[in-house]
Homo-oligomer: A and B are copies of this chain.
Amino acid sequence: MAKTIIVGSIGLDDVKTPFGDMKAILGGSAVYASHAASFFTNVGIVSIAGEDFPEEHKNLLTSRNINIEGIEFKGKTFRWSGEYEYDMNEAKTLNTELNSIIEFSAELPNNYKDAEYILLGNIDPELQLKVIEQLNQPKLIAMDTMNFWIESKKTQIIEVIKKIDLLLLNDGEARQLFDTVSLVDAGSKALALGPKYVIIKKGEHGALLFTNSSHFNAPGYPLEVFKDPTGCGDSFAGGLLGWLAKTDNLSEPNLRKAIVYGSTIASFNAENFSLERQKTLTMEEINARYNEFEKMREF
């Protein structure tokens, strides 16, 4: 069985940043998140890709012990193209070709239904609900979303939030979904819907964790080399989930550690395009940067 599963997209991306202009590179929320989680635990992906999806990309995933039997292969792979301005904070979507993703059924293979740690990456909230209904014994369901769904399916997103344990949003999305300037107010409103934990991601500025009893303010890592932020939010979520699954410990101190491990992998991810930096990343490098995170916030 797969103890940890990650639901999300698989794509081929065209990405332009001030540091390069790349075509048809490996991307998608499930790819970034599962690769990041694979540093800590075995993962099963639930997703769809096209029959054109390159063999080398499949091999990259299986070489990391990522189970791909939950990936359907049909038609053409989802394509996204985006561009980042000089400040690198937000992608401008230039084009989207949904292709096979519109046929995504979100059916779990039988041996995924007993999964305990689940990340519902950014997909249609109705499919996120469908995944939840297939789970027998989840210990932690985490969920991510994005502005596209907040604008088009807000009611359904609220329904999903009521059924999960950990909500992930970026700061702009949190303000938009809860119609407030204050991230503290957005965090309180999210907690009132049911989740025990709400994490607001702030890109290079780190992340905030809200629970009913406390705040945690995780630093961002100031990067010297910063080529492409694509997939950093997904890598953060995947690294976080992987650490929780590996340690099987949902205490708040361990969740804070999980956030710093997620931030660590996300910071490496931004150093190059696609999965290029993650591909060569070692546990020694991860642990060294985790220790730097500790030192740089001491006062």
Instruction: Tell me the A184-208 residues at the B interface (CB within 8 Å).
Output: 184-185, 187, 202, 204-206, 208
Q: Please state if A217 and B214 are interface contacts (CB–CB under 8 Å).
A: no
- C-alpha gap A202/B204 in the complex (Å): 11
Q: Please state if B184 and A295 are interface contacts (CB–CB under 8 Å).
A: no
Say how far A84's CB is from chain B's closest CB, in angstroms. Answer: 10
- For A205, list chain B residues within 8 Å (CB): 202, 205-206, 220
Q: Which of A18, A226, A297 has the most CB of B within 10 A?
A: A297
User: Which of under 10, 10 to 19, 20 to 34, or 35 or more describes the interface residues of A?
Assistant: 35 or more
- Which one of A20-28, A100-108, A252-260, A279-287 is at the B interface? A252-260
- For A215, list chain B residues within 8 Å (CB): 222, 292, 296
Q: Please state if B220 and A217 are interface contacts (CB–CB under 8 Å).
A: yes
A6-27 vs B, CB cutoff 8 Å, 1 = contact: the mask equals: 0000000000001000000000
Interface membership of A224, Cβ < 8 A: yes
Q: CB-nearest residue of chain B relative to A261?
A: B299
- C-alpha gap A294/B187 in the complex (Å): 20
Interface membership of A87, Cβ < 8 A: yes
Q: Please state if A223 and B184 are interface contacts (CB–CB under 8 Å).
A: yes
- C-alpha gap A87/B206 in the complex (Å): 17
Q: Please state if A182 and B259 are interface contacts (CB–CB under 8 Å).
A: no
- For A257, list chain B residues within 8 Å (CB): 299
- C-alpha gap A257/B220 in the complex (Å): 19
Interface membership of A181, Cβ < 8 A: yes
Interface membership of A119, Cβ < 8 A: no
Interface membership of A88, Cβ < 8 A: yes
Q: Please state if B297 and A217 are interface contacts (CB–CB under 8 Å).
A: yes
Q: Please state if B222 and A208 are interface contacts (CB–CB under 8 Å).
A: yes
Residues of A within 8 A of B (CB): 18, 86-88, 175, 181-185, 187, 202, 204-206, 208, 214-226, 253, 256-257, 259-260, 292-299
If A182-B225, A217-B222, A217-B297 are given as contacts, then 14 extra A-B residue pairs at C-beta distance below 8 Å, sorted by A number, are A18-B181, A86-B181, A181-B226, A182-B223, A182-B224, A183-B222, A185-B224, A202-B205, A205-B205, A205-B206, A214-B296, A217-B296, A219-B219, A257-B299
17 contacts between A and B (CB under 8 A): A86-B175, A86-B181, A88-B181, A185-B224, A187-B222, A205-B206, A205-B220, A206-B206, A206-B219, A214-B295, A216-B296, A217-B221, A217-B296, A218-B297, A253-B299, A260-B299, A294-B299
